[in-house]
Structures are given as C-alpha cells and as structure tokens.
Structure 1
C-alpha cells in the first residue's frame, strides 16, 4: 500500500501535464518525453476500480520515440535540458 500512496504524491511541483521528462526504466539510457496525463486521482483510490491487481501508475508519458508509457514518480525526472512543452 505504501507504493500507492507514494504514487499519489508529486515527485516535484514541476512535474505536470506538458512537462518534459526523462523516464528512467533503463538506467543507462533514460528516455525523453512529455507528460500527457496525471492519474493521481485513480492512483489514490485502490478500491475505486474494484480490483487490486494492475495498479494505476500516476503519469502517462509520450516518449519521443513514439511509445506511450505509464510510470510512477520514482521512474521519472524533469528534463532540465529541454524547454517545457506547450500544454494543450
């Protein structure tokens, strides 16, 4: 359950929809992308979906290589080298 609570708390106040981030699934080569959705409301409510398997990850990130990934706070960092993406 502690994973669910940590997923609901922001990694950084700057991690918002539209922010450029780097996803750290592969420690040797973080993948750059843009946050396109925040599922904090769903990640806080374990029983909301009527199941306890396949937990909701907080962030949906569109990677620059075309993939869509779903990650939690501990798997991403702000991309300080890129300007913030435009929201909308």
Structure 2
C-alpha cells in the first residue's frame, strides 16, 4: 500500500476500497455487494482459462479482505470503486 493512503478514484489498486459484486457462481452465500479493501493484485499471474484446458477454478485477479476476516477473490469485472 502506498504512503498516500487508499485510492478514492481512478483505477483499482492495492489499498482501494471497493464494492465486491457477488457473482451467480459465488459459494459464499453473499447476495449483497460488500465494501472492503483490496489487499493484493495478481495481474501478473492471471492465466487465460483457455490456456488451462479447463473452465473451473479460474485464477482471479484481486484478493479482498472482508471485515469478518474472510479473504475473497474477484475477477477484473467483479469490483467497483467504493
């Protein structure tokens, strides 16, 4: 996280407060968007699902820390700045 604190506008980055949009494939049981903090960006390790030879368990770009202690992962389109 940068010394300037979390980003409030612009691109999503580590430290940004984001709204996690639950997908229809979510197994967490969450149905409402949750505002939390991005703790890691795996942009350099995201692999195209077609390169894996499977369509299950895709690599997600963002790691987000929830207030209840859970760590959730979201794809590029699964977040919006809060």
| Structure 1 residue 45, shift from structure 2 partner | 6.3
The TM-score, its normalising length taken from structure 1, stands at: 0.60
- Structure 2: any 5+ residue segments left out of the alignment? 1-8, 24-29
Residues paired across the two proteins, number:
66
Taking CA–CA contacts closer than 8 Å with sequence separation of 6 or more, which of the two structures ends up with the larger relative contact order?
A: 1
The TM-score, its normalising length taken from structure 2, stands at: 0.64
Distance in 2 separating the partners of 1:35 and 1:22: 10
Give 1:1-88 correspondences, 5 Å limit.
13-25=10-22, 29-44=32-47, 52=54, 53-79=56-82
Q: Secondary structure, in 3 states, of the residue corresponding to 2:46?
A: helix
Distance in 1 separating the partners of 2:53 and 2:41: 20
More helix by share: 1
Spell out, residue by residue over 1:56-78, the C-alpha distance to the aligned partner (whole angstroms, 9 max, x if none). 10000001232110101211100
- Structure 1: any 5+ residue segments left out of the alignment? 1-11, 80-88
